Amino acid sequence: MKTLASLLLALPLTAAIPATPPYPLVSKRDAPNGVLGMSLRKVVAPRDTAMGARRIAMMAGPETKTSQTSRVAVPPRQSLIDHNEYYLADLAIGTPPQSVSLLVDTGGWVTWVNPDCTRAARPADCAAVSMPGYNASLSKPPPVAVHDLDQVVVYGDYSMAVQIEGMSDVFTFGKDNSSHQVAQLPFGVAVDTVGLSTGILSLGPDGNDGFNSAVSNYSVVSALAREGVIASRVFSLAYGRGPAASAFSGEAVAPSQHVGSLVFGGVDRNQFRGPLGKTPILPRDETVDGWRYWLSVTQMRHNAPGSKVNNGNYTKPRVISAATPAGNARYMADSGTTGIYVPRDAYDAVVAEMNLTRNPLRAEGFPDVDCTMANLTGSFSFTFAPARNASNGTAGMTIDVPYAALIHPERNRLTNDTSKCFFALSSGGSAYDDGDIFPILGVEFFKAAYAVFDWDNQEVSLGQGASCGEPDLVAIGSGPNAVPSITGNCK
């Protein structure tokens, strides 16, 4: 059995236009207890640059094909391109290290590199983010083949796919004196891709067989624990908060401040406020989809602008979606998808109350809104079922998502008008015009929440996101209750 490792891995996340890191890299020798911290950068780019912007069709699992020559047709482009945010982890693979930038995706389970930019939806953006990529022939000693990872993975509505060949090589996390190398981490190298502009750092379990399958054992999360770099299969994630960002402020955060935080094996106390509340990861429901980070949302509330806030609680919230007949609504936590998708009854109630209209030109159905709406203090609150051993008791943790996190600028390709915005809220259900087939907590949720994913105990610990300084990392051990009951430093 591994003892608690003295090393935490924290990766910087990026967005489409690189921003200056908000804090310097923390060197191994300066960090307490040998904790290694690295800043993340964020990219802001057209929507179809991001792999996970749309998930409209069934996502039951990776589709494996025997043909090595089959190619997927390039999907048609929509007339509206949404300028969205996606988050990249900067790392390096091979010896000597070759830099790669990978999109962070909790909805996928296979990490891979080297998209074909000639077949990307946005070739120029792909080249800017993903080139030159990883060249196996330059790595000495050469990578080791991992044929169990040879497959074709299809994303979303089958307009995005990658054929990969599995191998393992040295991964380098961080830069300069903050770097840490891990030998022989498994990953895939793309043989052919379509519609994809970035490689993927996949942080989810095997969609077919769950957290303890052979495929999940090839994941970065499992590999880091197996190598003793981290004490257990745990990572924490947060998106899009600058130094002064507040989840209740209602203020739009400047793109240069849209950094993210990814920590393997630990928690950053300067990325949330208040306590962490645990909620269970629900088992696979084969009638809906494969193994994912399925979370039970017991209530959704709309906190209209003008509601007073007392100690973080709105005085006059409107309950939009209470418990379903089964006792909860099953949401997938997916950091690679743009938007929050709620049950259809909840979505219809929201658009009626806010006087919004679904945009038929946008497959996701996101309504058009005035960009100044980001300055309003309205929000949506999601309450999660507590885990049996949760310190927050029977109440359940509530995460508040402000309007500002849901507002995205867009460009009309026909008129080149950039003055409009869209509201990244849609419906997840079986209706023909639903944006997706089930509820999803996407990028916007991770801009408001701090999430700690615990594979071994199949729980997620959630806190209200904030940002209040340089990383303050706490190592996570192993066994039951491995994620400690700690409180964030932010006020």
Regarding beta strands 160-173 and 144-145, do their DSSP bridges make them parallel or antiparallel, or are they unpaired?
antiparallel
Regarding beta strands 199-202 and 98-105, do their DSSP bridges make them parallel or antiparallel, or are they unpaired?
parallel
CB neighbourhood size of 103 (10 A): 28
The residue behind tokens 């990028």 is 443
> Do residues 100 and 34 share a domain?
yes
Please count the structural domains in the chain. Answer: 2
> Do residues 46 and 194 share a domain?
yes
- Residue 327 within a domain: yes
Q: What is the pLDDT of residue 435?
A: 75
Q: What is the pLDDT of residue 237?
A: 92
- Residue 257 within a domain: no
> Do residues 182 and 303 share a domain?
no
The length of the chain, given as a count of residues = 491
> Do residues 283 and 230 share a domain?
no
Q: Quick one: CA dihedral 117, 17, 439, 113, positive or negative?
A: positive
What element of type H or E holds 346?
helix 344-354
Q: Which class for 171: exposed (0-12), middle (13-18), buried (19 or more C-beta within 10 A)?
A: buried
Q: Is 74 in contact with 195 (CB distance < 8 Å)?
A: yes
> Do residues 348 and 418 share a domain?
yes
> Do residues 61 and 117 share a domain?
yes
**Which residues are CB-contacts of 10 (< 8 A; sequence separation ≥ 6)?**
26, 35, 36, 37, 38, 261, 262, 263, 264, 266, 268, 471, 473
> Do residues 219 and 326 share a domain?
no
- The whole domain housing 99 covers 9-237
> Do residues 233 and 293 share a domain?
no
> Do residues 440 and 344 share a domain?
yes
HSE-up of 227 (CA within 13 Å, CB side)?
Answer: 22
pLDDT per residue, tens digit, the chain (491 aa), is 322 333 455 554 544 333 222 222 232 323 333 344 445 555 655 443 333 333 333 333 333 333 333 333 222 212 232 335 678 888 899 999 999 988 889 998 899 999 999 988 778 888 888 888 999 999 999 999 999 999 998 876 667 889 999 999 999 886 554 567 888 899 999 999 988 888 999 999 998 889 998 888 999 999 888 888 889 999 999 887 643 333 333 333 344 445 788 888 889 999 999 999 999 999 987 777 789 999 999 989 888 886 554 444 444 455 565 444 334 689 999 998 889 999 888 888 888 889 999 887 777 889 999 888 888 888 999 999 998 765 555 568 999 999 999 998 876 667 777 778 899 999 987 777 787 788 999 999 999 999 999 999 999 999 999 988 888 888 999 999 999 989 999 98
> Do residues 289 and 172 share a domain?
no
> Do residues 183 and 317 share a domain?
no
Cα 464–Cα 467–Cα 473 angle in degrees, nearest 5: 90
- Residue 261 within a domain: no
Q: What is the pLDDT of residue 111?
A: 95
- Residue 333 within a domain: yes
Q: What is the pLDDT of residue 456?
A: 96
- Residue 84 within a domain: yes
Of 237, 256, 279, the position where a domain reaches its end is 237
Of 237, 253, 282, the position where a domain reaches its end is 237
- For residue 286, the domain's CATH number is 2.40.70.10
Using CA atoms, how far apart are residues 42 and 50, in angstroms rounded to an integer? 12
> Do residues 288 and 231 share a domain?
no
Could you give phi then psi for residue 348, rounded to 5 degrees?
Answer: -60, -40
Of 212, 237, 262, the position where a domain reaches its end is 237
Q: What is the pLDDT of residue 204?
A: 94
- Residue 90 within a domain: yes
- Residue 259 within a domain: no
- Residue 149 within a domain: yes
